[in-house]
Structure 1
């Protein structure tokens, strides 16, 4: 079943579509992080300003240098020892759509531990956009049953995994990391 869902989601993403999918945190809306048109569809669906950037997911930490010019050494330690899913905002974003890069050149990036996400990213060979499955300004849904119908109807594919779970999930911890290793918490 996991393999079937990965194949279906992969085809939609490769065709420029957007998906609704489970992650190691809350449900996300995602697409190919190099496809600007697909990213714009997500902004429209969320009714979100394009000045508020979205994060990307990678499957393994050795992919960080593919998308960040200079990854501070501490980033790997933070990822390894974080007790909760951790999104790192780092400058020097590269090899992704300009629509995901903040004005200061940074992007938020998380190494996902979710098997569906990891395998989908491996097959896609690109990072996956991840943004909470809600209209901008509304609360993030804690599980699938709390996702607004407008979001479900607005994506090209809804991944059929974990839809019946009512486990309360929280968004990731977010830290801004400077090239010199200095950091600050944005969201704990």
Structure 2
């Protein structure tokens, strides 16, 4: 059961263009509204990351995915159905997202998380949320909340406090699915 107070606090911060630190199905993530260019710029600054490196975003379900991708390859649904581990898919021709979230090659990485808090947050927010690992660029991805750098904790507007939250502690696999039918494994 998701704590409604925590959920609403995170929701309010997202709606106001703020940054949240939250657990996902993979690792602790820094999140913001995926349509808010200023918020995304703040994520890049917090992570001390060049804005030419694309970020992942999360959506609640297939319906929400269709809002952000012009043409979803059929293989995407097959991959999501058969894959047991978290999988992020890079799609061609994103739409309705902040321009600074979209990669230089006009692609976007999106995952549908298998995580109750994320699902509830995405549904209530009714939109895509950025999800990037909670670390300074170039440093190791924290495997637990205790490993998150103090600068990250101080740099977000809200820390989702879910006691004893179980997360995967491992980034998702990333597969690029081109509209031309090409499939490329980016990260296993």
Please give the TM-score of this superposition, normalised by the length of structure 1.
Answer: 0.95
By how many angstroms is 1:166 displaced?
7.5
Distance 2:122 2:128 in 1: 6
Distance 1:77 1:175 in 2: 13
Partner of 1:147: 148
* Alignment of 1:75 onto 2:76: yes
Structure 1 runs, 4 residues or longer, greater than 4 Å off: 164-168
Please give the TM-score of this superposition, normalised by the length of structure 2.
Answer: 0.95
Distance 2:162 2:6 in 1: 8
For the residue of structure 2 that corresponds to 1:126, the secondary structure is: coil
In the alignment, structure 2 segments of 5+ residues that lack a partner are none
Q: Is the Cα–Cα contact under 8 Å of residues 25 and 167 in structure 2 kept in the other structure?
A: no
Distance 2:181 2:60 in 1: 22
Partner of 2:175: 175
In the alignment, structure 1 segments of 5+ residues that lack a partner are none
Which runs of structure 2 are paired with 1:41-60 in the superposition (5 Å)? 41-60=42-61
Q: Is the Cα–Cα contact under 8 Å of residues 88 and 175 in structure 1 kept in the other structure?
A: yes
Q: What number of residue pairs does the alignment pair up?
A: 187
Partner of 1:184: 184
Q: Deviations over 1:2-56 (max 9, x none)?
A: 2111100000111110000000000000001001111111100000000001011
